[in-house]
A and B are shown apart, each in its own frame.
Chain A
Amino acid sequence: MEDLLTIADSLGLKLSPPSNPGPIRFADNSHDSNLVLNLVFLVPDNPGFGQHTLLPDSRKPSNHIPLVIYVDINNKNIDSTIQSIKKDSEEKSNFINEIRLNVKLLDTQVITNRHATVDQLSLIYEKAWNKHSKPRHITRHSKEWWNQECIDNLNFYQLQDDIAA
């Protein structure tokens, strides 16, 4: 245990006690005693330090009890947005048309600087991309097969059945 605490310490982590201390593994028989296996390590200034809760009434047939901790997840922590152009969409056609039009106008005859034409070409791509790409959230439902029907069904399911309950 001391080794574990030393390793955690080297990573800047401390053992975080639960808000309601108690055993988390219940013995299978009456001869053995219940065990306290509480190994939650956190950065000491984390708002969740010492805040996790044991839920002994929710263990059901398991001999381990669940732990609950609230983690603040927001855009500042995880940026799940990307710029993209959808396949076979109108925005893709507009994107290609704009590049095609501007590449046609690219001046390759008067080359004053060896990289000037490539600079212009990069600018054409960049401008077209910035104009036609849209921000999209990456979620577990970002797969190609995930469509409006799936969204509707998921919404219906969530209204019908409170998962947390």
Chain B
Amino acid sequence: MNWVKKRTLPAIKTITYEERPCNMLPSLWNALYCSYNSATNQLVNLTIFNDLPKCDNIDWPPFSEQEVRNAIAKCSSLSTPGPDHISWRHLKPIVTNNECLGKIVTIANTCIKYETWPTQFKTAILVVIPKPNKASYNMPKSFCPIVLLNITGKLIEKVINIRLQFYMTFNGFLNPNQLGRIKQRLTIDAGVYLTHIIHTGWLKQYYTSVIVFNVAQFFPSLNHSFLFLCLEKVGLNPNIINFFNSYHTEHTTTYTWNSFSSPVFNTSIGVGQGSALSPIISVMYMAPIIKTFKKKLKILKKKFLLMSFLL
């Protein structure tokens, strides 16, 4: 199965959830909802924030038209539209008009001013894409959940994403070894870096070992209480933190499977894969974990190199 081309759902056996086949649509929707929200109500240890210093406060000036232009310039015209049916292909010619662009910038700034993320931008359609090279496709976890969102919200998310990337890199909140989904820190760099470290170790005749952890279902499992504490430590002002509070609450999702659609489900955990802010929020989420892990490893008095990357 090709990862980069359009993929149709493979011929599969019935989706099985908790060892029971999903023969009817309601049981399929339940299987998808439970699989992609499995971390709901899981307790999270927030004590790691006790010793974590807060970064310098960040100024958040109003968004400019140029920021929106930069954000939309690289959007793929081929991506699937969300519930509003508008794709980048449609929006690009609309924002070339300065008056229209000005209105969108005003909407973005109003969201920050009133510390709110409108309901229309929280309404998502979730489609599943088969993960490549799976032995079988009879479980929801063999599929990647992708959320499709309304286009204006996505554009504003992209602008916020660029800002957060810059601020968190600039004030040192992100570890330099956090790679992937950040400008000038590509996932492929992680491979190059790792290879370099191993080769250097061999030259010095060290015994080099690599321990790799894969966090399964990472995006859908992010805990929102943990995220708010992250945002405080980043140095964002209360106005922006309250905005993110609104951003993460009262999301609704409609699941789809081929031409069938589910009833609306409320989602209260994780970030949607497909949202422009999800990658940077995930990187931000990892930063305190990496810092704490690094601190603990110092006790062992061995040479360690920590690295994390998002695919």
Contacts and interface: CB of A to CB of B under 8 A. Distances in A.
Interface string B57-99: 0000000000000000000000000001110011001100101
B110 A96 contact: no
Contact of A118 (B23, B89, B94, B118): B118
Contacts of A100: 93-94, 97, 100
A121 B107 contact: yes
A44 to B, nearest CB: 17
B86 A103 contact: no
B86 A125 contact: yes
A106 interface: yes
A99 B85 CA distance: 13
Contacts of B84: 122, 125-126, 129
Contacts of B85: 83, 125, 129, 133
A58 B234 CA distance: 74
A110 to B, nearest CB: 12
Given A117-B107, A118-B118, A122-B84, A95 B150 contact: no
Contacts of B110: 108, 111, 114, 117
Nearest to B77: A87
Interface string B148-174: 001010000000000000000000000
Contact of A103 (B23, B100, B116, B150): B100
B121 interface: yes
A132 to B, nearest CB: 10
Interface string A1-37: 0000000000100000000000000000000000000
Contact of A115 (B89, B90, B119, B152): B119
A104 B120 contact: no
A96 B93 CA distance: 8
B106 interface: yes
Contacts of B121: 118
B94 A103 contact: yes
Interface in B113-155: 114, 116, 118-121, 150, 152
A119 interface: yes
Main secondary structure of the interface of B (DSSP, over half): helix
Contacts of A95: 90
A115 B118 contact: yes
A147 B50 CA distance: 65
Contact of B152 (A96, A118, A126, A133): A118
B103 interface: yes
Chain A contact patch, size range: 20 to 34
A57 interface: no
Interface in A88-133: 92, 95-96, 99-100, 103-104, 106, 108, 111, 114-115, 117-119, 121-122, 125-126, 129, 133
B47 interface: no
B107 A108 contact: yes
Q: Find the residue from B85, B86, B259 having the highest chain A CB count within 10 A.
A: B85
A79 interface: yes
Contacts of B97: 100, 103-104
Contacts of B120: 115, 118-119, 121-122
Contacts of B89: 87
A118 to B, nearest CB: 4
Contacts of A99: 86, 90, 94
Interface in A147-163: none
B99 A104 contact: yes
Interface in A49-91: 79-80, 83, 87
A106 B86 contact: no
Given A96-B90, A125-B85, A104 B100 contact: yes
A114 B121 CA distance: 13
A129 B87 CA distance: 12
18 contacts: A83-B85, A95-B90, A96-B90, A96-B93, A96-B94, A99-B86, A100-B94, A106-B103, A108-B107, A111-B110, A115-B118, A115-B119, A117-B106, A117-B107, A118-B121, A125-B84, A125-B86, A133-B85
User: Closest 7 A-B residue pairs measured CB to CB?
Assistant: A118-B118, A108-B106, A103-B100, A114-B114, A104-B99, A125-B84, A115-B118
Interface of B: 23, 84-86, 89-90, 93-94, 97, 99-100, 103-104, 106-107, 110, 114, 116, 118-121, 150, 152, 259
